[in-house]
Structure 1
Amino acid sequence: MQAERLTFDIKPNANPMPEADRLKAFENLGFGTLFSDHMAVIRWSADKGWHSPEVLARGPFAIDPASSVLHYAQEIFEGMKAYRRADGRAVLFRPEENARRFNESARRMAMPELPEADFLDAVEQLVRIDAKWIPQGEGSLYLRPFMFASETFLGVRPSKEYIFCVIASPVGPYFKGGAKAVKIWVSENYTRAAAGGTGAAKCGGNYAASLIAQAEASAQGCDQVVFLDAAEHRWVEELGGMNVFFVMNDGSITTPPLGGTILPGITRNSLIALAREEGLTVNEQPYSFEQWKADATSGKLVEAFACGTAAVVAGIGTVKFNGGEFKIGNGETGAATSKLREALVGIQRGVSNDRHGWVRVIDGV
């Protein structure tokens, strides 16, 4: 148990990116290729606990070739964003949920839990020192808190040393083409997670296992892959990095239930709450791929969308699979999808009333 809050040692980068270069880079923001000047770091060891918190110039870690993470993949991460609101304030969206989920992932991967207050402080310290890296307009500052095992040893047991770090990347749209509907490939050869596995943890291994399926999707001209369950290869679970929703012609919405094989998305949770506030019925229940095809063909299914921190909300227009493909509705992003996206983004950007207290203002920025 951490005895008291950590105090960060702030070491400003002596050679930050020149302002003109940064502004030039902002003219054509992609996703995850440009990084801010600093990073926040905290270390953990079995004898000291969490220690040596600092904010310093972003740079490489020096790790031994026998570092545990390189051999046994003890690594977890989070994805969150800082936004610049119209009133000029910098805000985070539900960061407490990221802190909580981070520790759920840590427990599953036999890693030490970081006190939520220290997680939030690390994120906010980085945003404060790199506030100029928050883009205006529709851009945002993507934040990547992560932790990895750093002990030098070869042996199958939890590491006794870890490094926690937060880095930041100014980003534009996750999918090229902005708000247009995406094309999805259904993976029938690979599964993302199984009962008792790490599907509900946000660990790098889950994403590594999905890459071959994502490559298959790209080869088929699709933007993303969607996985079926490991036991029956029947039930829709989630995309490679996003949760999925289905909108029916009676206005109801269906989304696969959490149960250990699906990541409990913060965007997913938020959209469910917003939809129910609008009086919509949201069913968290199994939905088979065969039913998906049948409902799209009959017209019962009128929209589908994926959601996550990176992409926010993206309509699904076309679904491809071995042997064919089908469109959902007219193949474009639907009205219900657009309305939910607008409601969520409105809260994040400070345009709409934050009735839930989801937005956290970063003082001094």
Structure 2
Amino acid sequence: MSRILTNEIDLETVEKSRINDVDFDNIDFGREFTDHMFSCDFVDGEWQTPKIMPYQALTLDPSARVFHYGQAVFEGMKAFKDDQDEVWLFRPEDNFNRINISAARLAIPEFPKDYFLNGLKTLIQLDKAWVKKGDGNALYIRPFVIATEPAISAAPANEYKFMIICSPVKAYYKGRLSVLFAEKFSRSADGGVGFAKAAGNYAAQFYPTNLANKKGFQQIIWTDANTHEYLEEAGTMNIFFRINNTLVTAPTSDRILDGITRKSVIQLAKDNNIDVEIRRVSVKEIKEAAMDGSLKEIFGSGTAAVISPISAFEHAGDVFEIPDLEDSYSTFFKRKLMDIQYNKSDDQHGWRYKV
């Protein structure tokens, strides 16, 4: 191993890469990790010198507050390689802003922007070979923060660890999905942490999602906690509905994640003169649209999934099939997004960030 200080990052590299041990043609999402990881500790009221080191296990005290009170937030990002072997990020400053918004909600100190962007860029440059070319191939990037202070009194921690790990990936979902509209369980409530990428949000939805999986559905589209009458988002995606030729999606709130892919789809729709309505969407409206034929599509959007078309939904025992359109909005937006991400088209909004 070698150790140098670069861009105020303490850098320790591996002697030999593990990349040749990985079968990139048969890779499960989020199961393999690159050679290096980024780490920075918050101690004595300030963030310390960031480090990049070989990917390795952590040692934490059993009383670390993250284990007891769930102070943990994360982000999901991707890096893409174009045909000239250049690597690009997609809207990384949005991810930086959102992880700090999430952190603030859980009383976690915000992370410095220069540490985040310099650390991210240095880490990806170091493990650039892990980013494979070709549509669908990407490097999934997971920044996260956990409370590490060893104390079990019910209070915010005084010590934290900010980390970034990376995983080569292919498509998250394959094919079209079937979903269940929630009738009983809720993902989040008014005044809660639904807008934050808090680890506990995902843990709490695993049980009802497992029940949906047993019924043959891949995801749940969550409804509002008060009445279960309005559709909000899915477990790993924001949701869009195409009613005739109008794209409809729920507004963000303290219950709904401000998805970066969601914002991008809305902007691309406006760029291409597709009508967009950001408003509450009722279960009743979508069921009636499915019955009268005006519901043309439902699709999800997210970093991991990109764009995922939905083939059917169930609510209160009623099952509705959704046609597979040749000129679907889901295919259109996925192509538009990927062409920007893989540096195949103009980027008029400045979303690409060269590594």
| TM value normalised by structure 2 | 0.95
- Which piece of structure 1 moves more, 108-117 or 161-170? 108-117
1:320, distance to aligned residue in structure 2 (A): 2.0
SS of the aligned residue for 1:55 comes to strand
Q: Which residue of 2 aligns with 1:335?
A: 328
Separation (CA, whole Å) in 2 of partners of 1:285 and 1:333: 27
Are the counterparts in 1 of residues 182 and 228 from structure 2 also a CA contact under 8 Å?
A: no
Pair 1:318–1:146, CA change in 2 (3 A): same
| Uncovered stretches (5+) of structure 1, i.e. residues with no partner | none
Are the counterparts in 2 of residues 303 and 315 from structure 1 also a CA contact under 8 Å?
A: yes
1:197 aligns with 2:195: no
Q: Which residue of 2 aligns with 1:117?
A: 114
Match of 2:41 among 18, 37, 43: 43
Pair 1:209–1:6, CA change in 2 (3 A): farther
Post-superposition Cα deviations, 1:82-134, rounded to whole Å, max 9, x if no partner, equal 00012210000000000000110011110000012211122112111111111
Post-superposition Cα deviations, 1:299-351, rounded to whole Å, max 9, x if no partner, equal 111111000000000111100234131012x1468611111111111100111
Separation (CA, whole Å) in 1 of partners of 2:243 and 2:109: 43
Q: Which residue of 1 aligns with 2:230?
A: 235
Q: Which residue of 1 aligns with 2:92?
A: 95
Separation (CA, whole Å) in 2 of partners of 1:257 and 1:169: 31
Q: Which residue of 2 aligns with 1:71?
A: 68
Separation (CA, whole Å) in 2 of partners of 1:32 and 1:82: 14
Q: Which residue of 1 aligns with 2:313?
A: 319
Post-superposition Cα deviations, 1:159-202, rounded to whole Å, max 9, x if no partner, equal 00000000000001101x3xx22111222121000000000000
C-alpha RMSD of the superposition = 1.4
Alignment of 1:341-352 (within 5 A): 341-352=334-345
- Which piece of structure 1 moves more, 73-82 or 277-286? 277-286
Match of 2:25 among 24, 27, 51: 27
Q: Which residue of 1 aligns with 2:349?
A: 356
Q: Which residue of 2 aligns with 1:246?
A: 241
> How many residues in Structure 1 have an aligned counterpart in Structure 2?
349
Percent identical residues: 36
Q: Which residue of 1 aligns with 2:3?
A: none
Q: Which residue of 1 aligns with 2:55?
A: 58
1:156, distance to aligned residue in structure 2 (A): 1.3
Q: Which residue of 1 aligns with 2:101?
A: 104
Q: Which residue of 2 aligns with 1:159?
A: 157
Separation (CA, whole Å) in 2 of partners of 1:263 and 1:299: 30
Separation (CA, whole Å) in 1 of partners of 2:19 and 2:82: 24
Post-superposition Cα deviations, 1:17-76, rounded to whole Å, max 9, x if no partner, equal 152x23xx101122111111110001102x250103110011111100100000000000
Are the counterparts in 1 of residues 19 and 130 from structure 2 also a CA contact under 8 Å?
A: no
2:256 counterpart letter in structure 1: I
Moved over 3 A (4+): 331-334
2:177 counterpart letter in structure 1: V
Are the counterparts in 1 of residues 224 and 230 from structure 2 also a CA contact under 8 Å?
A: yes
SS of the aligned residue for 1:52 comes to coil
1:14 counterpart letter in structure 2: E
Separation (CA, whole Å) in 2 of partners of 1:94 and 1:333: 29
2:145 counterpart letter in structure 1: M
| TM value normalised by structure 1 | 0.93
Q: Which residue of 2 aligns with 1:291?
A: 285
SS of the aligned residue for 1:96 comes to helix
SS of the aligned residue for 1:26 comes to coil
SS of the aligned residue for 2:204 comes to helix
Are the counterparts in 1 of residues 45 and 158 from structure 2 also a CA contact under 8 Å?
A: no
Separation (CA, whole Å) in 2 of partners of 1:313 and 1:117: 31
Are the counterparts in 2 of residues 254 and 285 from structure 1 also a CA contact under 8 Å?
A: yes
Separation (CA, whole Å) in 2 of partners of 1:347 and 1:93: 8
Match of 1:130 among 123, 127, 132: 127
1:228 counterpart letter in structure 2: T
Are the counterparts in 2 of residues 316 and 333 from structure 1 also a CA contact under 8 Å?
A: no
| Uncovered stretches (5+) of structure 2, i.e. residues with no partner | 1-5
